[in-house]
Amino acid sequence: MRDGDAAQGDALEPRARERVTGPDILAALSGMAVGLVLALIGGGGSILATPALLYVVGVANPHVAIGTSALAVSINAFANFFNHLRRGNVKWRCALVFGGAGVAGAALGSTLGKLTDARILLPLFAVLMIVVGVAMLRPRKNEGDSDVRLNAENAPKLVGLGLGAGALSGFFGIGGGFLIVPGLIAASGMNMLQAVGSSLFSVGAFGATTAASYAADGLIDWRIALLFIGGGLIGGAVGAAFAQRLAQQRGVLQKVFAGVVFAVAAYMLWKSLLG
């Protein structure tokens, strides 16, 4: 081999190694797992995105993990939102009011989150995970008014609850579906299916707002984010294929997932407080 060819080969070899790395594979697999969980049990699954990026993929900076997670959750939420939109499960006006107020809250929450020391932020995140796990163990009822409309009575409630849900979503970089769904029901009285469909607009909007805030400070790993999103879309498609078949076991799946959430929260607390 000529010296020039050898030099060119040496120059290309690092690039080849950069194409697929251990963290790349782990990011795609983690995204698949989160996407699968979301498709099988719905809201709450994205709470594992940040811990997966921190402890599985190996993202060193918690703020980068939160920013990257927010972007991935946002894109996956919008993808699922259009599926519900086609099925007529979205109350547009209520969703826009709730989501619009929440975007303002997410902008404020993400700013405060970036300013919060990771030694405080991660234990708080673990406590939030425990709350999510408890919420997932509560039975869901599909009662509600399927003909609900935006009016002078429910609009202030939608604004207030949207603002609060957005602030928490932005602070922790989570989708916040476990907050948004009951918030929409409490504010408007819509049924569960409509709340789930309408909530995805807010989840996507809050995540996009949070991701934009973190991106402005260079706190997103774009390569990892794209791999995580791609894996999430694949996992979501696989989960959707099995969702109907496993519908009768949904309660069992939620209990198993809640147990996983509790275990991860305990690990995060141990790492943060005692590690």
The answer to whether residue 66 is domain-embedded is yes
Quick one: CA dihedral 97, 98, 99, 102, positive or negative?
positive
pTM greater than 0.75: yes
Tell me the C-alpha distance between 218 and 58, whole Å.
18
Residue 266 one-letter amino acid: A
CB neighbours of residue 133 within 10 Å: 23
- Asked, for residue 11, whether it belongs to a domain, the answer is no
**Mean pLDDT (whole number) for 59-68:** 95
Give the model's pLDDT for residue 104: 97
Query: Does residue 32 lie in a domain region?
Result: yes
94-123 per-position pLDDT tens digit: 999 999 999 999 999 999 999 999 889 989
Take residue 119 and report the two structure tokens written for it: 């030694």
Nearest alpha-carbon partner for 174 in 148, 215, 211: 211
Tokens at 100, concatenated: 């619009």
Enter the tokens of residue 271: 């790492």
Residue 104 belongs to a domain = yes
pLDDT of residue 12: 38
- With respect to residue 3, please indicate whether it lies within any of the assigned structural domains: no
- Report the candidate in 203, 179, 181, 167 with the shortest Cα–Cα distance to residue 75: 203
> Does 16 score more than 60 pLDDT?
no
pLDDT at 46: 75
Q: Is residue 16 part of a domain?
A: no
Q: Is 4 within a domain?
A: no
Mean pLDDT value across the chain: 84
Q: Report d(CA 215, CA 68) in Å as an integer.
A: 9
Q: Do 187 and 197 form a contact (C-beta atoms < 8 A)?
A: no
Domain span at 175: 22-274
**How many domains is the chain partitioned into structurally?**
1
- Residue 184 near residue 98, CB atoms below 8 Å: yes
Tell me, what amino acid is at 271?
K
The answer to whether position 57 is within a domain reads: yes
